[in-house]
Chain A
Amino acid sequence: MGIGYQNSSLKEMLAERDRLFSETGHLWGLKELALHQEDPAKMMRFQLRVLGACITSRELAKLTAASPIVRTVGECIFMLLVPEGDVAAASFGLTGHVGSAPLQVKHMIQLGYEENPGIRPGDVFSNNDPQYGGPHAADNYTYIPIIYDGELIAWSCAMNHIGDVGAALAPGSYPGLTPTSFTDGFLYPLLKTGENFTTFKWFDLMWERRTRQPLFNIIDNKMRVTGAKLLHDKALEIVAEFGADYFRKATREILERERQRALNFFKERTVPGVYQEVNLGYHNIYQGRMAQLFPQSDRAWLVTRRTDMEIRSDGSVSIDFEGSNSQDSFGYNVGEGALRVGLSFWWVPMVMYGGVLNTAINYALSVKAPSGTIFNPNDPYISVTSCFHTITLVLTNLTRFQARATYSRGIIEEALLKEQSSALVEQEGVFSNGVPWGFTYFSLAGADSTGARPYKDGETLCASHLNPESDAGEDEEFEVYMPPFLLLGKTFLPDSCGYGKYRGGVGMQVVMLVVEPGKMVRQSAACGSSAYTTQGGSGSSGGYPGLIGWNMAFHDTNMRQLIEAGEGYPSTLAEIQGWIREGKLKVKEIEIWGGDVAPTSYKDGDLHVFIASSQGGWGDPLDRDLGLVEKDLNEGWVSPEANRAVYGAVAKRVDGRWKVDGEATAKAQQEMRRRRKERATSAKEWWAEQRQRVMNKDFSQPVYNLYSDILKYEKFCRQFMGTWQLPEDYAL
């Protein structure tokens, strides 16, 4: 006798859901949405009640957290799932994480948890293991079964991102160096971690012993249990009000209705067909650091995220990652949980916005990637810690594809280029009194700019697709938890955008000064983007990509002495560079990273500059309205030099304001067009030259390594060989 509907087992319910969908094309065979039709007002009231339950649980649970990652910036989400695992409603917050919750419930069901360890009222289950649907160690999920009259009628789920995972080689929640899952930190697979809504003591001890930030992590766990219990209770109140039968049917109807909404979205706003996108990252922080212990990881990787989309006649979308790299001994692999979360980062704000947040789109969105590749690893012990480097950068491909499709359809208001820079800064140290500490600085994660649209420039540092920080509004509290790192400045960075007829939003710069670091302090950064390759923030329709993120460290400086002498301090990269040029600021060593920052030690007086979030442009820069050029000059977004170089804009100051000289600019642009003609060759000539280069295998080592990997995959190999008309025996 099972705990599901009418004594069926959860395994039987899962199989029945899949059978009915396969046979009818509708979730649970719901060809008619009877409750919607019979009493739409009641249905709306029900829907708002479950949504309100999720939101209220989150807002209350946040108050019980200690970590500012939850309490201040709200990196958490609360979800109501049907027994089979589909999310029927969810709160605000870390919304993308609806994606992986269904997988974790599916694993519990398929592993036979109904029999062993059993699923009873008050039980608490927890997971952060990618092998069982979690994205990576930082993302922790807590499940409480909602049992009414002996029937498991739903699940409540709480999830949050913690501040340190106890990884071996690098600190924080997103440790950059993880050659294997055995260096990923504290991973636990689908455990029963409590009974009677109370966490077992041993789970607290695990956090105590296995992570650098035990107090925050223990209290974060209590916060999740608290919120999941609140949602559990509120769900039972709703069952009492509407009846169990209505609850069961209504949650299913919401999902079927939303599945249909997803299909209709694409049919109403896009054009069927096939679309190709790729972006390119370069990961080099393992190189030179792994030789002795993990020799297979002592290298750099050029990684392509190839993404081919097809919008089919019924409105469903298929995403094919073939042509992307193979899995490897690094943390950039993407398990099934992270893959689904990553796709949610796209579809939550770009497709399924409005209404109740749920996972119905999973039935309108198919994904494929060859086994053993970065998007479908088949090694259970492979590291996926930096999975979001890989999957969030697919966002640039997905928004570009959607922008093309909506532009062609005439729904151009919805065409928006967007990349997620999502830079997280990981820190650890030992204070002078010997007390160790660890932390993740989230300031860069939530303040993304937006890319250009076909009708306007991108906005600056306004919103994030992934993270709720921009909802929270401020993150100054973070400074309290990273005492050796003093923020000297945080502002936008002129000229960092991708140019175009409409430019992308410019990026952000954060300047930190290291002050009294104690016995030791280290910092690394997981940037998720790579300015080495202009990856991320790509443009469209002739617009250029933005330079999304990079980092600079200035070691052994006289900064502390300058401050003590009353000289003030620089608060931007340009000011630091100016002070160095003037000879005022002395610096012994400058390090530049075009992407991730390797774990780096700092001394008192060192400076670090983070740059993130610039976005791509739309359209030919020479089509830009000169009024916008003038506006950029007067508001300081783009310098006179860049405006001259990219737009040909000739400008001068008149009464303290920049004025563009239309005639001189037209002449300059004419010259730029002439230069374009002079420098370009016909595609046929270019093709012949490129073909010869490919024939000669005239590539840098990283590019050579890339092709020797991805040419293993038949579809990309066919395109590569066909494009360059290579002989059959061509190989790298």
Chain B
Amino acid sequence: MSEEVSKENLKSLVEGKLPWEEVKRLLRMPHKEETRFWKYLEIMQEKVPWKEKILLPLTDHLYIVRKEDGARVVKCDCGHEFGDYRINWKFNCDVYVRETTEEFKEVYTIDPCPIDPGLVEIREYYCPTCSTLLAVENVPPGYPPLFDMLPDLDTFYRQWLGRPLEDESPDWFQDKTAELLSKWGAEK
């Protein structure tokens, strides 16, 4: 039994086509192969219609990419850019909020619908260009949007993958969301 997953099989897994028996073999691997991430990046890079280098896949449709000018931005596979990855990309989405029973029932058709509209809202974050649903939050009204993941890319590439990024800086692992919101606040 090989302890490697082929690029072809990994691509099938990404596409949801790998047979369950083969997935179970991957699940049982005592160690994951060191080359996995590089194969994964190749698959993702071949999937998207644009050329910027992917540094890290984030969700089904979003990636952190490096722009030609050195910026690291979040980009949708449709090409829409959400800006600096250190700013919570949800603040650059389109947003729709379900807050009434009627709105909940569009998704939860079961009767009776037990969701209490006074307690929770369901936020849907869409890509402004392709309208893909990128994230759903179920939180109380007024709850700050969660910054799902701020990766420490420099540590990841240097210490864990052994291939340092050429533009390392401690500044890359900083949450910059507050800067955007301060700007919005100043406009009020």
Residues of chain A having any CB pair with chain B under 8 Å: 267-269, 271-280, 282, 302, 304, 313, 354, 404-405, 407-414, 454-456, 493, 495-496, 499, 501-502, 531-535, 538-545, 547, 550, 552, 577, 592, 594, 618-623, 625, 639, 641-642, 645-646, 673, 676-677, 679-684, 686-688, 690-691, 693-694, 699-700, 702-703, 706-707, 719-720, 722-725
B133 in contact with A620 (CB, 8 Å): yes
Q: Is the CB of B23 within 8 A of A683?
A: no
Interface of A is mostly: mixed
For B139, what are the chain A residues with a Cβ–Cβ distance below 8 Å?
Answer: 278, 280
Question: Is A268 a contact of B135 with CB atoms below 8 Å?
Answer: no
Residues of B within 8 A of A686 (CB): 95, 97
Which listed segment binds A: B45-53, B66-74, B103-111, B163-171? Answer: B103-111
Nearest CB in chain A: distance from B58 CB, A: 6
Are B182 and A676 in touch, CB under 8 angstroms? no
Contact (A693, B60) CB under 8 Å given A277-B146, A408-B151, A413-B13: no
Please measure, in the bound complex, the distance between the C-alpha atom of A304 and the C-alpha atom of B138, giving whole angstroms. Answer: 11
Whether A455 pairs with B156 at a CB distance below 8 angstroms is no
Contact residues in B for A646 (Cβ distance below 8 Å): 107, 109
Q: Provide the bound-state CA to CA distance between A687 and B123, in Å.
A: 12
* Chain B interfacial positions (CB closer than 8 Å to A): 10, 13-16, 18, 20, 23, 26-27, 30-32, 36-37, 39-41, 56-61, 90-97, 106-112, 114-116, 118-120, 122, 124-126, 128, 131-136, 138-152, 155-156, 159-160, 173, 175, 178, 181-182, 184-185, 188
User: Once bound together, how far apart are the Cα atoms of A682 and B181, in whole Å?
Assistant: 14
Nearest B residue (CB) for A314: B159
Q: Which residues of B contact A682 (CB under 8 A)?
A: 94-95, 128
Residue of B nearest to A315 (CB): B160
**4 smallest beta-carbon distances between A and B, as pairs:** A410-B40, A725-B185, A700-B118, A680-B94
Q: Given the interface contacts A282-B116, A703-B141, A720-B144, does A679 sit within 8 Å of B96 by beta carbon?
A: yes
Do A722 and B60 have beta carbons less than 8 Å apart? no
* A538 / chain B contacts, CB cutoff of 8 Å: 138
A541 touching B39, Cβ below 8 Å: no
Q: Within 8 Å CB of A414, what residues of B?
A: 27
Given A268-B31, A625-B16: A539 touches B109 (CB 8 Å cut-off): no
Q: Are B159 and A313 in contact (CB under 8 A)?
A: yes
Which residues of the other chain, B, contact A703 by a CB distance below 8 angstroms? 118-119, 140-142
Q: Which residue of B lies closest to A682 (CB)?
A: B94
Nearest residue, chain A, Cβ from B151: A273
28 intermolecular pairs with C-beta atoms under 8 Å apart? A269-B32, A271-B151, A273-B173, A274-B147, A274-B149, A278-B143, A313-B152, A407-B57, A408-B149, A408-B151, A409-B40, A410-B40, A455-B15, A456-B16, A495-B108, A532-B120, A534-B115, A534-B122, A535-B120, A541-B59, A594-B114, A594-B115, A641-B109, A677-B94, A683-B125, A693-B141, A725-B182, A725-B185
- Closest-CB distance, A223 to chain B (whole angstroms): 34
Determine if B40 and A534 form an interchain contact, defined as CB atoms under 8 angstroms apart: no
Cβ of A543 and Cβ of B136 under 8 Å apart? yes
Contact A273 B40 (CB under 8 A): no
- Which residues from chain B contact A547 at a C-beta distance below 8 Å? 108, 110, 114-115
Are A273 and B152 neighbours in the complex by a CB distance under 8 Å?
yes
Residues of B within 8 A of A639 (CB): 109
Residues of B within 8 A of A277 (CB): 146
Task: Report yes or no: B91 in contact with A687, Cβ–Cβ below 8 A.
Answer: yes
| Residue pair A273, B16 in contact (C-beta under 8 Å) | no
Q: Which residues of chain B come closer than 8 Å to A304, judged between CB atoms? A: 140, 143
